[in-house]
Amino acid sequence: MKAIVINEYGGKELLHEQEVSKPEITEDQVLVEVHATSINPIDWKLREGYLKEMLDFPFPIILGWDVAGKIVEVGTNVKNFGVGDEVFARPATTHNGTYAEYTTVDESRLAKKPENLSFEEAASIPLAGLTAWQCLLDETGVKEDSKVLIHAGAGGVGSLAIQIAKHFGAYVATTASEKNESYVKELGADQVINYRTQKFEEEIENFDIVVDTMGGEILERSFTVLKPGGKLVTIAGSPDQKLAEKYEVEANSYWLTENGKQLAQLGDLLEKGIVKPQVGHVFDFTAEQLQEAHGLSETHHAKGKIVIKMK
């Protein structure tokens, strides 16, 4: 099958097309014909070799960990899905990713594609959507009237997190640049802080929750907006526990769990139009286009999600 792979770590120019064998399913998996995938920052972080201690994969590595497509084969233990089903998933993080014509997915990580979504829209959801969902519901317990700060509201995770937090009744403040101010308001943000001209910690206080997607000094400054007992979750760094103690808050790093049941719950909100997919950019399935898509993700200024259309 056709795949876009890397055979060594380095720059985006290393992404190239290669014929590889079709992956084989285990009894708990399905084989999905990939109709669309999406780019996440993990793709280029892994491509550069930044994650090699944590994810020590053999080459060639097929990057990509979002899929929307059609099931073409099912394992003998698979109960709730059949050939022909349209599905979406955040597959396990293996070296057989989704920049390929076919990919395997465990049944536990799979959900039916919402009928109203195109494959491109569906592929934009699993990784970023599950991250947003779990940060808000599992990690910080968002509820009616929670005051939540979401960093980078115009990004892949942020644009879904705003909508999910609003659905659960929160008051949402978010950071964005001026060009995205009306965009994040349309997503439901109650308060937009222009990170280029304002300091978020001077604009808000006594918040219940921070969802940090930036890390570094933004993560450090975020402690000050929380009230005692507040919760900070970061997907882009390690919070300083001395600061957590000083501000009497709980602060944790989080790495998403690929969970098909939660993806189905999010799928339900998508089907009802409560959460809307945020496809900001679409590329074709060629090495040149994937290189361009990586370049865009690496700027840190893509709007919503970057999707690769395969069919």
Ligand X SMILES: NC(=O)c1ccc[n+]([C@@H]2O[C@H](COP(=O)([O-])OP(=O)(O)OC[C@H]3O[C@@H](n4cnc5c(N)ncnc54)[C@H](OP(=O)(O)O)[C@@H]3O)[C@@H](O)[C@H]2O)c1
Q: Which one among 29, 175, 224, 278 touches ligand X, defined by CB under 6 A?
A: 175
Binding mask 98-137 for ligand X (x = CB under 6 A): -----------------------------xx--x------
Long-range pairs of 199-208 with CB within 8 A, sequence gap ≥ 24:
200/149, 200/173, 200/175, 200/225, 201/225, 203/173, 204/147, 204/149, 204/173, 206/147, 207/147, 207/148, 207/149, 207/173, 208/140, 208/146, 208/147, 208/148
Q: Which one among 15, 36, 152, 211 touches ligand X, defined by CB under 6 A?
A: 152
Cβ neighbors of 4 (< 8 A, separation 6 or more) are: 15, 16, 17, 18, 62, 63, 99, 100, 285, 286, 287, 290
Binding mask 249-278 for ligand X (x = CB under 6 A): -----xxx----------------------
Cα–Cα dist 237/288, whole Å:
31
Cα–Cα dist 275/263, whole Å:
12
Residue 239 Cβ vs ligand X, minimum distance, rounded to whole Å: 13
E strand spans, the chain: 2-6, 16-19, 29-39, 61-62, 67-74, 86-89, 102-106, 110-112, 147-150, 171-176, 191-194, 207-212, 226-234, 250-253, 279-284, 305-309
Residue 172 or residue 214: which is nearer to ligand X going by CB?
214
H or E element, residue 291: helix 287-298
The rounded radius of gyration (Å) of the Cα atoms in the chain is 19
Residue 189 Cβ vs ligand X, minimum distance, rounded to whole Å: 12
Residue 70 or residue 303: which is nearer to ligand X going by CB?
303
Residue 25 Cβ vs ligand X, minimum distance, rounded to whole Å: 25
Is 235:251 a contact under the CB 8 Å cutoff? no
Residue 71 or residue 142: which is nearer to ligand X going by CB?
142
Residue 168 Cβ vs ligand X, minimum distance, rounded to whole Å: 19
Say whether residue 281 binds ligand X (CB under 6 A): no
Q: Which stretch binds ligand X (CB under 6 A): 28-36, 85-93, 155-163, 267-275?
A: 155-163
H or E element, residue 260: helix 260-271
Residue 110 or residue 127: which is nearer to ligand X going by CB?
127
Q: Which one among 156, 230, 239, 277 touches ligand X, defined by CB under 6 A?
A: 156
Residue 178 or residue 284: which is nearer to ligand X going by CB?
178
Q: Which residue is nearest to ligand X (CB)?
A: 155
Residue 20 Cβ vs ligand X, minimum distance, rounded to whole Å: 26
Binding mask 34-73 for ligand X (x = CB under 6 A): ------xxx-------------------------------
Contacts with ligand X, residue ranges (CB under 6 A)? 40-42, 127-128, 131, 151-152, 154-158, 175-177, 180, 195, 213-214, 235-236, 254-256, 297, 300-303
